[in-house]
A and B are shown apart, each in its own frame.
Chain A
Amino acid sequence: MKKNLSINNNLMKSHIRFSISILLVASLLLFSSCKKFLNVESPNDVANDNMFTDGASLLSARIGLYNTLQNAAYYGGYFPLMIDAYSDNGTAGGYDSPQLNQFNDKALGADNIFISNFWVAAYNTIYTANQIIAHVDGINDPALSDEVRTDVKGEAYCIRALAHFDLLRTFGEHWDLSSKYGIPVVQTVASPSDIFPRNTVLETYDAIFADLNEALTLVSNDDVEYGSGTKTTGFVTNYFVRGLMARVYLYMKDYSNAAAMATDVINSQAFSLVSDPSVIYTTKLSSESIFELQFNVQDQSEYNNLSYVRDDALRVDVSFLANENLDLFFQQRPADTRASLVNFDPEINDPSIQPDGRTQKYRGEDTKDNSAYIMRIAELYLIRAEARGAMGDFNGCAEDLQTIADLRGGYGIPEIDMLNFESVVQDERRAELNFEGHRYFDLARIGQVADVVGENVLPVFPIPVNEISATGGALEQYPGY
Chain B
Amino acid sequence: MQRRPIHLLLLLLLILGNSPNLFAQNLKLTGVIRDPKGEPLIGATVRWKEDPSYGTQTDEDGRFELEVPATSGTLVYSYVGYNNHEDPFSATHANLDAILTEQSELEEVIVVGYGTQKKSDITGAISSLKGDDIRGLPNPNLGTSITGKATGIHVVTPSGTPGAGLLISVRGSENPLYVVDGIPMISESNSGLSTSYDTQGNTTGNGQNVSSIADLNPDDIASIEILKDASSASIYGARAANGVVLITTKRGAAGKTSFNFNYYTGMQQRSKKINFMSADEFVALVEDARAQDLKKYEEDPTYFGEDFNPDILTNPLPDSWNTNVNVDWEDEVMQNAPVNNVQLSASGGTEKNRFYISTSYFDQQGIVINSYYKRFNNRMNFDQQVNDKLSFGENVSFTYSKNRRSFNDDTYTGIVTNALGCSPLMPPYNDDGTYADYTLYQAAWLSDNPILSANEVIAYSNSYRGLGTVWADYKILDDLSFRTSWSADFTYFTDDQYWSPLTTDAIELGGKATNGSFKQLNWLGENTLTYDKSWNKVHHLNLLGGFTLQRNQSNRLYVTGQGFPIGSGLQNVSSSAVLTSRLADGTGWALVSFLGRANYDFKGKYLASFSMRADGSSRFGPENQYGYFPAGSVGWRITQESFFPESKVFTDLKLRLSYGLTGDQEIGDFQYVSFWSPITYTGIAGLSPRNIADPNLRWQSNAKLNAGIDYELWNGIVYGSLEYYHEEKYDLLSEDAIPGTTGFATITRNAGRVLNSGWEFNINATPIRAAVTWDIGFNISYLHNEVLELTSDSILLYAYNDLAPSHILAVGQPQGSYWGVKYLGVDPETGDPMYEDLNGDGVVDDNDATIIGKALPDYYGGITTNLHWKNWNLNVATSFSLGNDVYNMIRGEYLSLGYSPEGWDAENVLYQVYSNNPEYANDRWMNPGDQTDIPRASLINSNNYQNSTQNLENGSFLRLSNIGLSYDLKLKSKQYIRACQFYLQVQNLYTFTSYSGYDPEVSSTGGVDINTTGVDYAAYPKARTFLLGVNLSF
Q: Which residues of A are at the interface with B, using a C-beta cutoff of 8 A?
A: 12, 15-16, 19, 23, 26-27, 30, 34, 37-48, 51, 57, 59-68, 70, 95-100, 107, 109, 111, 113, 116, 119-120, 123-128, 131, 184, 186, 190-192, 194-196, 228, 232, 234, 294, 296-300, 305-306, 309-312, 314-317, 346, 350-352, 354-355, 365-367, 464-467, 469-472, 475
Known: A66-B686, A298-B579. 10 other contacts (CB 8 A): A37-B592, A40-B589, A109-B847, A120-B740, A190-B742, A294-B681, A305-B200, A306-B200, A315-B901, A470-B737
> In the assembly, what is the distance between CA of A13 and CA of B448, in Å?
78
Contact of A46 with B689 at beta-carbon distance under 8 Å, contacts A37-B590, A109-B845 already known = no
Q: Measured between C-beta atoms, what is the minimum distance from A297 to chain B in Å?
A: 5
Q: Measured between C-beta atoms, what is the minimum distance from A41 to chain B in Å?
A: 8
Question: Which one of B214-222, B491-499, B638-646, B798-806 is at the A interface?
Answer: B798-806
| Residue in A23, A40, A191, A351 whose CB lies within 8 Å of B742 | A191
Q: Measured between C-beta atoms, what is the minimum distance from B974 to chain A in Å?
A: 48
> In the assembly, what is the distance between CA of A471 and CA of B202, in Å?
31
| Residue in A38, A107, A296 whose CB lies within 8 Å of B590 | A38
Is the CB–CB distance between B802 and A99 below 8 Å? yes
In the complex, what residues of A have CB within 8 A of residue B529's CB?
Answer: 19, 23
B901-939 residues with Cβ-Cβ distance < 8 A to A are 901-906, 911-912, 914
Selected A-B contacts with CB under 8 Å, 10 pairs: A30-B547, A38-B617, A48-B693, A63-B688, A67-B688, A124-B743, A299-B681, A310-B504, A346-B905, A351-B903
Is the CB–CB distance between A471 and B739 below 8 Å? yes
> In the assembly, what is the distance between CA of A97 and CA of B804, in Å?
8
| Residue in A67, A113, A125, A298 whose CB lies within 8 Å of B686 | A67
Is the CB–CB distance between A44 and B740 below 8 Å? no
Residue of A nearest to B625 (CB): A38
Contact of A192 with B747 at beta-carbon distance under 8 Å, contacts A68-B688, A310-B507 already known = yes
Is the CB–CB distance between B802 and A64 below 8 Å? no
| Residue in B507, B563, B686 whose CB lies within 8 Å of A60 | B686
Q: Measured between C-beta atoms, what is the minimum distance from B693 to chain A in Å?
A: 8
Is the CB–CB distance between B200 and A309 below 8 Å? yes
Residue of B nearest to A93 (CB): B901
Counting CB contacts under 8 A, is B86 at the interface? no
In the complex, what residues of A have CB within 8 A of residue B509's CB?
Answer: 365-366
Counting CB contacts under 8 A, is B482 at the interface? yes
Name which of B509, B527, B676, B796 has the most chain A CB atoms within 10 A of its CB.
Answer: B676
In the complex, what residues of A have CB within 8 A of residue B684's CB?
Answer: 63, 228
> In the assembly, what is the distance between CA of A311 and CA of B749, in Å?
46
Q: Measured between C-beta atoms, what is the minimum distance from A415 to chain B in Å?
A: 35
| Residue in B510, B681, B743 whose CB lies within 8 Å of A123 | B743
Is the CB–CB distance between A59 and B580 below 8 Å? no
Q: Which residues of B are at the interface with A, using a C-beta cutoff of 8 A?
A: 198-200, 202, 412, 437, 439, 444-445, 447, 476-477, 480, 482, 504, 507-510, 527, 529, 545, 547, 549, 551, 562-563, 578-582, 585-592, 594, 616-618, 625, 669-670, 673-690, 692-694, 737-745, 747, 749, 792-796, 798, 801-805, 843, 845-847, 901-906, 911-912, 914, 942, 947
Q: Measured between C-beta atoms, what is the minimum distance from B125 to chain A in Å?
A: 32
Contact of A45 with B739 at beta-carbon distance under 8 Å, contacts A317-B199, A352-B901 already known = no
In the complex, what residues of B have CB within 8 A of residue A40's CB?
Answer: 588-590, 618, 669-670
In the complex, what residues of A have CB within 8 A of residue B562's CB?
Answer: 366
> In the assembly, what is the distance between CA of A421 and CA of B545, in Å?
87
In the complex, what residues of B have CB within 8 A of residue A232's CB?
Answer: 682
> In the assembly, what is the distance between CA of A352 and CA of B901, in Å?
8
In the complex, what residues of A have CB within 8 A of residue B692's CB?
Answer: 127, 191-192
Residue of A nearest to B694 (CB): A192
| Residue in B580, B688, B741 whose CB lies within 8 Å of A128 | B688
In the complex, what residues of A have CB within 8 A of residue B545's CB?
Answer: 23
In the complex, what residues of B have CB within 8 A of residue A475's CB?
Answer: 739
9 closest pairs, A vs B, by CB?
Answer: A63-B686, A127-B743, A64-B688, A365-B508, A45-B675, A48-B674, A97-B803, A40-B618, A120-B740
Is the CB–CB distance between A42 and B685 below 8 Å? no
In the complex, what residues of A have CB within 8 A of residue B742's CB?
Answer: 123, 127, 190-192, 194
In the complex, what residues of A have CB within 8 A of residue B805's CB?
Answer: 111
> In the assembly, what is the distance between CA of A98 and CA of B529, in Å?
62
> In the assembly, what is the distance between CA of A12 and CA of B533, in Å?
14
Q: Measured between C-beta atoms, what is the minimum distance from B577 to chain A in Å?
A: 9
Is the CB–CB distance between B508 and A46 below 8 Å? no
Q: Measured between C-beta atoms, what is the minimum distance from B749 to chain A in Å?
A: 8
Is the CB–CB distance between A312 and B439 below 8 Å? yes
Is the CB–CB distance between B846 and A119 below 8 Å? no
Is the CB–CB distance between B669 and A296 below 8 Å? no
In the complex, what residues of A have CB within 8 A of residue B798's CB?
Answer: 113
Is the CB–CB distance between A300 and B547 below 8 Å? no
Q: Measured between C-beta atoms, what is the minimum distance from B796 to chain A in Å?
A: 7
Is the CB–CB distance between B745 and A466 below 8 Å? yes
Name which of B682, B744, B847 has the most chain A CB atoms within 10 A of its CB.
Answer: B682
Contact of A19 with B482 at beta-carbon distance under 8 Å, contacts A310-B507, A471-B739 already known = yes
Residue of A nearest to B507 (CB): A310
Is the CB–CB distance between A48 and B673 below 8 Å? yes
> In the assembly, what is the distance between CA of A76 and CA of B685, in Å?
18
> In the assembly, what is the distance between CA of A262 and CA of B544, in Å?
80
Name which of B579, B846, B904 has the most chain A CB atoms within 10 A of its CB.
Answer: B846
Q: Measured between C-beta atoms, what is the minimum distance from A379 to chain B in Å?
A: 22
Is the CB–CB distance between B804 and A98 below 8 Å? yes
Is the CB–CB distance between A299 and B680 below 8 Å? yes
Is the CB–CB distance between A60 and B685 below 8 Å? yes
In the complex, what residues of B have CB within 8 A of residue A469's CB?
Answer: 737, 792-795
Residue of A nearest to B686 (CB): A63
| Residue in A42, A97, A109, A126 whose CB lies within 8 Å of B587 | A42
Is the CB–CB distance between B792 and A64 below 8 Å? no
In the complex, what residues of A have CB within 8 A of residue B669's CB?
Answer: 40, 42
Residue of A nearest to B198 (CB): A95
In the complex, what residues of A have CB within 8 A of residue B747's CB?
Answer: 192
> In the assembly, what is the distance between CA of A315 and CA of B444, in Å?
9
In the complex, what residues of A have CB within 8 A of residue B482's CB?
Answer: 19
> In the assembly, what is the distance between CA of A12 and CA of B478, in Å?
10
In the complex, what residues of A have CB within 8 A of residue B801's CB?
Answer: 97
Is the CB–CB distance between A111 and B796 below 8 Å? yes
In the complex, what residues of B have CB within 8 A of residue A107's CB?
Answer: 843, 845
Contact of A43 with B585 at beta-carbon distance under 8 Å, contacts A124-B689, A191-B742, A192-B692 already known = yes
In the complex, what residues of A have CB within 8 A of residue B737's CB?
Answer: 466, 469-470
In the complex, what residues of A have CB within 8 A of residue B675's CB?
Answer: 42, 45-48
Is the CB–CB distance between A27 and B547 below 8 Å? yes
Residue of B nearest to A191 (CB): B742
| Residue in B198, B510, B578, B690 whose CB lies within 8 Å of A45 | B690
> In the assembly, what is the distance between CA of A400 and CA of B675, in Å?
48
| Residue in A46, A123, A297 whose CB lies within 8 Å of B580 | A297
In the complex, what residues of A have CB within 8 A of residue B586's CB?
Answer: 43-44
In the complex, what residues of A have CB within 8 A of residue B745's CB?
Answer: 116, 120, 466
Contact of A99 with B677 at beta-carbon distance under 8 Å, contacts A30-B547, A366-B508, A470-B739 already known = no
In the complex, what residues of A have CB within 8 A of residue B582's CB?
Answer: 298
> In the assembly, what is the distance between CA of A351 and CA of B591, in Å?
60
Is the CB–CB distance between A305 and B689 below 8 Å? no
> In the assembly, what is the distance between CA of A70 and CA of B798, in Å?
24
Is the CB–CB distance between A352 and B200 below 8 Å? no
| Residue in A45, A126, A354, A464 whose CB lies within 8 Å of B676 | A45
